[in-house]
Amino acid sequence: MTSTTDRTADTSKAVADVLKMPEPRPTRPTAWSTSLSFGWRALLKIKHVPEQLFDVTMFPIMFTLMFTYLFGGALAGSTDAYIQFLLPGVLVQTVVMITMYTGLTLNKDIEKGVFDRFRSLPIWRPSPLVGALLGDVIRYTIASIIVLILGLVLGFRPDGGIVGVVASIGLLLLFSFSLSWIWTMFAMLMRTEQAVMGVSMFILFPLTFASNIFVDPATMPGWLQAFVGVNPISKLVTAIRGLMAGSVQTAELVVVFGWCAGFIVIFGPLTMRLYNRKS
């Protein structure tokens, strides 16, 4: 009798377990949390392949030393005088040049099929791209700190103090994040890393060298001055020089913010459209 009762109780429990309502689903991750997760993924890739930091450590040192001692005496009479003019520009050039590696990394992930797996996840669709860009912001910050430390050693003294320096780096990071959307678009369009690098360098070299980074545009021919005057890199350099000197260039800041908004508004949707079609 007891055995029958036990079997009946076990059967009733099994039926109850089957009929029990399923537990509620976990909360869907937010766009911010998924973007941060992919940003952390980008940083983990650096951890496993530390050679990726070569471009954000050695290149800033090389650019700063080379341009200071090659052009300082000829253009400003001394390296001490030239470093005050040059360092904000070299800071911009260094960080802007390494933004193209965002496109190279994304292109490699796409060719390996990694983004096809991301597509199946219940996440905010742009988070793999936004996360990769956020992860690269850490690389830009490292490069900025290296240039500033080296500049201080060489004699650079920002009259704007710590506030001006921090504001300058923040503005540079915002511009670099916005500019990186162009390279993500090329990552979707090009079939190889070499093609992405070639196109990126073709765009970046005129923008950085035909600017006010190294010399005063007043010494340039009129047609070149016209290009330098509308060059977004020149606007960014002027704004950062002003912040570091303690004299905020409001007009230049407005123009730089406008360029940042334009890059994101134009190239962000284009990149996402290509991403949705490609993956």
Q: Which of 250, 257, 237, 251 is nearest to 87 (CA)?
A: 237
Range with the lowest mean pLDDT among 27-41, 204-218, 229-243, 244-258? 27-41
Cα–Cα distance between 137 and 98 in angstroms, integer? 11
What does the mean pLDDT of the chain come to?
Answer: 83
Q: Report the pLDDT value the prediction gives residue 233, as an integer from 0 to 100.
A: 95
In the chain, domain spans: 32-278
CA angle 265, 260, 209 (to 5 degrees): 125
State yes or no: pLDDT of 181 exceeds 70: yes
Cα–Cα distance between 178 and 261 in angstroms, integer? 7
Q: What is the mean pLDDT of residues 6-13?
A: 54
| Beta carbons of 184 and 103 less than 8 angstroms apart | yes
| Beta carbons of 233 and 211 less than 8 angstroms apart | yes
Q: How many residues does the chain have?
A: 279
Q: Report the pLDDT value the prediction gives residue 261, as an integer from 0 to 100.
A: 96
Q: Report the pLDDT value the prediction gives residue 191, as an integer from 0 to 100.
A: 83
Q: Report the pLDDT value the prediction gives residue 28, as an integer from 0 to 100.
A: 73
Alpha-carbon Rg for the chain in angstroms: 26
pLDDT in tens, 71-125: 877 777 788 888 999 899 999 998 998 888 888 888 888 877 777 777 777 788 7
State yes or no: pLDDT of 23 exceeds 90: no
Q: Report the pLDDT value the prediction gives residue 22, as an integer from 0 to 100.
A: 57
State yes or no: pLDDT of 57 exceeds 80: no
Q: Report the pLDDT value the prediction gives residue 265, as an integer from 0 to 100.
A: 95
Q: Report the pLDDT value the prediction gives residue 59, as an integer from 0 to 100.
A: 78
State yes or no: pLDDT of 47 exceeds 80: no
Please list, in sequence order, all residues whose beta carbon lies within 8 angstroms of the beta carbon of residue 271, skipping any fewer than 6 positions away.
129, 181, 184, 185, 188
Place of tokens 């503005």: 171
Which pLDDT band, with edges at 50, 70 and 90, does 19 fall under?
A: very low
Q: Report the pLDDT value the prediction gives residue 18, as an integer from 0 to 100.
A: 47
* Structure tokens given for 101: 């590696």
Cα–Cα distance between 100 and 182 in angstroms, integer? 9
Please list, in sequence order, all residues whose beta carbon lies within 8 angstroms of the beta carbon of residue 81, skipping any fewer than 6 positions away.
72
Place of tokens 């509308």: 230
Cα–Cα distance between 78 and 83 in angstroms, integer? 9
Greater confidence (180 vs 277) lies with 180
Which pLDDT band, with edges at 50, 70 and 90, does 9 fall under?
A: low
Q: What are phi and psi of 239, to 5 degrees?
A: -65, -40
Which pLDDT band, with edges at 50, 70 and 90, does 238 fall under?
A: very high
Handedness of CA 224, 229, 234, 240 (dihedral sign): positive
* Structure tokens given for 89: 């520009």
Q: Which of 193, 59, 79, 195 is nearest to 139 (CA)?
A: 59
